[in-house]
């Protein structure tokens, strides 16, 4: 196991270097002079020259890259060109927001997805299976920004049940925090619930036809016990893997959801930064997400190995 983890982490190093080059390169490719935006409506030429100098925008790109990497190694992701807050502080501030959103979305997805998948597999071929499948595919097909808009229209504007936007930290007022996050989490969770349902169903179908389930049934065990204790437990391996991977997807999927519900998280931070040409922020955030994604992948593979002993021999 340790050897496996070590090897995976070693392979991750060139990937991370590549990501850093992407991230840095993309930024340099973005058109529109960041300094021109920063200099304000008057665009004083003297100030523009000065800012270019200060943010080393006149240096050759490899030199800029080297300086950037040098700082990162020391734990410094630079400062936001727009508000002058350190990027590391911004990330520390935004991460809990997006994690809360992602966790809530994941819970919603698990609560809907797994039971639906189990039921649909158990009732394979009946109308329950059919409905569950159609609903799941619909969940995958609905553009979630549109779902978000429609929910704001219905739940907030028309019915006034939930706040249309905003964010209250969990530590400040847990009830209100969950209330404000409920709609965005639901929107983000639908596609995931659908994905999970499909995976659960397919895993369960495999397991339900296996010998030990048949044996358990033959022994006269109750259907509920068979389903949960024998079938679901064995089907959990692929489900857990998918869930770990989906968590990475969630962080990325939060981009539009946060934009629509004005949630001050990672996604909103990075999109606003792209539009404001706030280089340091875009670079820092994308790099962090990329690295997180890679480690989630390693984690997913590791979990799979732990849960499924057969894989260790391969």
Partner 1 sequence: MVEKLGAVAPAPEPEPERPAGNRALRKLRRSPAALFGGLLVTFFVVVAVLAPVLPIPGPAETDWGAVRKAPSMAHWFGTDEIGRDVLSRMIWGAQASLLAGVVSVVIAVLLGVPLGVLAGYARGWTDAVISRFTEALLATPFLILAIALAAFLGPSLTNAMIAIGLSAMPIFIRLARAQTMSVLTEDYVESAHAVGVGHLALVWRYVLPNIFPPILVQATLTIATAIIAEASLSFLGLGQQPPAPSWGSMLNIAKNFLEQAPWMALWPGMAIFLVVLGFNLLGDGLRDALDPRDT
Partner 2 sequence: MTTKRTFALALAMGLGASWAQAADLRIGLQDDPDVLDPDQSRTFVGRIVYASLCDKLVDITPDLEIIPQLATGWEWSDDGLELTMTLREGASFHDGEPFNAAAVVANIDRSQNLEESRRKSEVKSIASVEAVDDYTVKFTLASPDATLIAQFADRSGMMLSPKATAEAGVEFGLNPVCSGPFEFVERVQQDRIVLEKFADYWNADAINFDKVIFLPIPDTTVRLANLRSGDLDMLERLAATDVASASADDGLIVEQAVSLGYQGITVNVANGAGADSPIGQSELVRKALSLAIDRDVINQVVFEGAFAPGNQSFPPTSPWYNADFPVEGRDVDAAKALLAEAGFPDGIEIDIQVANNPVQTQLMQVVQAMAGEAAIKINIVAKEFATLLSDQSAGDYTASQIGWSGRVDPDGNIHQFMTTGGGINDSKYSNPEVDALLDKARTSTDLAVRKESYDAARAILADELPIIYLYHVTWIWALDDKMQGFVPYPDGMIRLEGVSFNE
Long-range own/partner contacts, residues 114-117 (CB < 8 A, 24 or more apart)? 114/196, 114/197, 114/200, 114/232, 114/239, 116/193, 116/197, 116/200, 116/201, 117/196, 117/197, 117/198, 117/199, 117/200, 117/201, 117/203, 117/204
156 counts as binding partner 2 under rule CB under 8 A: yes
**What proportions of the chain, in percent to the nearest 5, are helix, strand and coil?**
80, 0, 20
58 counts as binding partner 2 under rule CB under 8 A: no
Separation of alpha carbons 167 and 177, rounded Å: 7
* Residue 59 to residues 38, 44, 65, Cα–Cα distance (Å): 19, 21, 10
Give the x/- contact pattern for partner 1 in 114-153, rule: CB under 8 A: ----------x--------xx--xx-xxxx-xx--xx-xx
212 counts as binding partner 1 under rule CB under 8 A: no
Interaction partner, residue 145 (partner 2, partner 1, none; CB < 5-8 Å by kind): partner 1
Residue 286 near residue 23, CB atoms below 8 Å: yes
Please list every residue from 41 through 70 that binds partner 1, using CB under 8 A. none
Q: Which residues bind partner 2 (CB under 8 A)?
A: 30-34, 36-47, 50-51, 54, 80, 82-85, 90, 93, 152, 156-157, 160, 163-167, 260-262, 264, 268-269, 272, 275-277
Can you give the binding site for partner 1, defined by CB under 8 A?
Answer: 11, 14-16, 18-19, 22-23, 26-27, 29-31, 124, 133-134, 137-138, 140-143, 145-146, 149-150, 152-153, 157, 191-192, 194-195, 198-199, 201-203, 205-206, 209, 242, 245-246, 249, 251-253, 255-256, 259, 270-271, 274-275, 282, 286, 289-291, 293-294, 297
């Amino acid at each position: 196991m340790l050897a496996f983890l070590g090897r995976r982490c070693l392979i991750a190093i060139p990937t991370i270097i590549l990501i850093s080059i992407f991230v840095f390169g993309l930024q340099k490719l973005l058109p529109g002079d960041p300094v021109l935006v920063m200099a304000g409506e008057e665009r004083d030429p003297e100030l523009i020259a000065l800012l270019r100098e200060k943010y080393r925008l006149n240096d050759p790109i490899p030199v800029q890259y080297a300086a950037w990497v040098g700082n990162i190694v020391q734990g410094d992701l630079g400062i936001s060109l727009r508000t002058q807050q350190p990027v590391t502080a911004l990330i520390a501030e935004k991460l809990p927001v997006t994690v809360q959103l992602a966790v809530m979305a994941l819970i919603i997805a698990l609560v809907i997805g797994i039971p639906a998948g189990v039921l649909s597999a158990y009732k394979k071929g009946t109308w329950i299976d059919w409905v569950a499948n159609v609903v799941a595919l619909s969940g995958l097909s609905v553009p979630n920004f549109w779902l978000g808009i429609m929910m704001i229209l219905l739940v907030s504007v028309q019915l006034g049940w939930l706040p249309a936007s905003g964010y209250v930290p969990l530590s400040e007022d847990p009830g209100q925090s969950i209330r404000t996050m409920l709609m965005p989490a639901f929107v983000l969770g639908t596609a995931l619930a659908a994905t999970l349902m499909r995976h659960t169903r397919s895993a369960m179908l495999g397991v339900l036809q296996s010998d030990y389930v048949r044996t358990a049934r033959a022994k006269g065990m109750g259907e509920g016990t068979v389903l949960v204790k024998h079938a679901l437990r064995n089907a959990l391996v692929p489900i857990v893997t998918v869930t770990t991977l989906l968590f990475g997807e969630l962080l990325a999927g939060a981009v539009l959801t946060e934009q629509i519900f004005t949630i001050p998280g990672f996604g909103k931070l990075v999109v606003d930064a792209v539009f404001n040409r706030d280089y340091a922020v875009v670079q820092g955030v994308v790099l962090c997400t990329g690295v997180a994604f890679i480690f989630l992948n390693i984690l997913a593979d590791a979990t799979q190995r732990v849960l499924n002993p057969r894989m260790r021999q391969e």
